[in-house]
Amino acid sequence: MSGAPLNIALIGSGFMGRAHALAFAAADRIFDLPRSPRVTILADRDLETATAAAASLGIPRASGDWREAIAGADIDMVAIATPNALHAAIAIAALAAGKAVYCEKPLATTLAESEAMTAAAAASGRPTAVGFTYLYNPMIVLARELIAGGEIGEVTAFRGIHAEDFMASADAPFNWRCEPDQAGGALADIGSHIIAMAQHLVGDIASVSGRLHTAYPTRRDAGGQARAVTVDDQMDAVVDFSGGATGSLSASWIASGRKMGLAFEVSGTRGSIVFTQECFNELKLYRSGSGRTNGFTTICAGPEHGDYGAFCPASGHQIGYNDLKTIEAKAAVEAAAGLPSAAKSFADALAVERVADAIRRSHREGGWVRP
């Protein structure tokens, strides 16, 4: 480590807030960072919740008001790990206060809020980073390098899906994910990951034709009351990329049996690449050819694959989700320090939200829509 500490206000202490706190602590020990990240205050919905979480994570201060947490003159970066509906207000206020911002995806629940956040970032000149965790996988870094290097020739197609099953049962209760102004449906909540992956690997999406589907129009809340569900359970879209490739995207939180089915296949004129997050320490590569044994080769993640080597000196031992989050935190710290970084900015995340919005418009209007 070198340079002055990077003091961080962490907003939110749920699963993702804890993931951020652990990632900053690990990144500080695993990587040689330009500044040492220090989460100095944690804010949550009330002081009691924040105090308990801060104590469990070794964070010295707690607050029941995010505005108080970001206002400190000593705070360099604000890390936002709250429900989606709060992202815009916190990010815009933090940028106005001169802080760098590291925000979970999706950027916001509406395109207008995403545009406002990106405009605020541009006006402030402060660095931003967005938590598209799966893009930081060393196997995804390798896939992008293979594609960019022409290893599979000209890309002709991308077929991608993000499938989980946490809402697959009709008995799954009505919760915040069912509120359009809180989560925005499967498209916004998990579809943003596969859209980001597609654009990260293949390039800008130029046009879309999409359909949204709500499998369960009502769900019962915690009190047993039937509530109308007005968000999508599943999204399917056909897309055209600006580079000429075609593709399909799907997102579902009702895909029975799938726990983390973020998967894709990229086809090219000289080969293909196949990946699934459920086996995310592997990448399958096919090079066109002939012969009885010609087929996909499985590449196991190892120390020769970028940041994997910071965690383990041997291939096949595997890294985990929190390690991906640690790599992401490293990128956020580098961005906050003003250095070249792999972090995805608010502008990058806005491009994802524009595709998601185009899919919604296509569903309403029918036909093809440009983001």
Closest CA to 133 of 254, 305, 307, 354: 307
For residue 294, give every residue at least 6 positions away whose Cβ sits within 8 Å of its Cβ, in sequence order, or none: none
Strand partners, 213: 234
Residue 184: per-residue pLDDT? 76
For the chain, what is the mean pLDDT?
96
Residue 335 confidence (pLDDT) above 60? yes
Residue 70 confidence (pLDDT) above 70? yes
Cβ-contact 211, 175 below 8 angstroms:
no
Domains of the chain with CATH codes: 6-133 (3.40.50.720), 138-279+281-319 (3.30.360.10)
What is the percentage of the chain residues whose pLDDT exceeds 70?
Answer: 99
Residue 180: per-residue pLDDT? 84
Cβ-contact 106, 181 below 8 angstroms:
no
Cβ-contact 101, 91 below 8 angstroms:
yes
Start-to-end C-alpha separation, the chain: 42
This prediction's pTM? 0.95
Average pLDDT estimate for 307-317:
96
The model's confidence at residue 176, banded by pLDDT at 50, 70 and 90, is confident
Of 14-28, 174-188, 335-349, least confident by mean pLDDT is 174-188
The model's confidence at residue 2, banded by pLDDT at 50, 70 and 90, is low
* Tally of CB atoms within 10 A around 148: 9
Tell me the pLDDT tens digit for each residue of 143-164: 999 999 999 999 999 999 999 9
Closest CA to 91 of 159, 31, 11: 11
Average pLDDT estimate for 293-304:
95
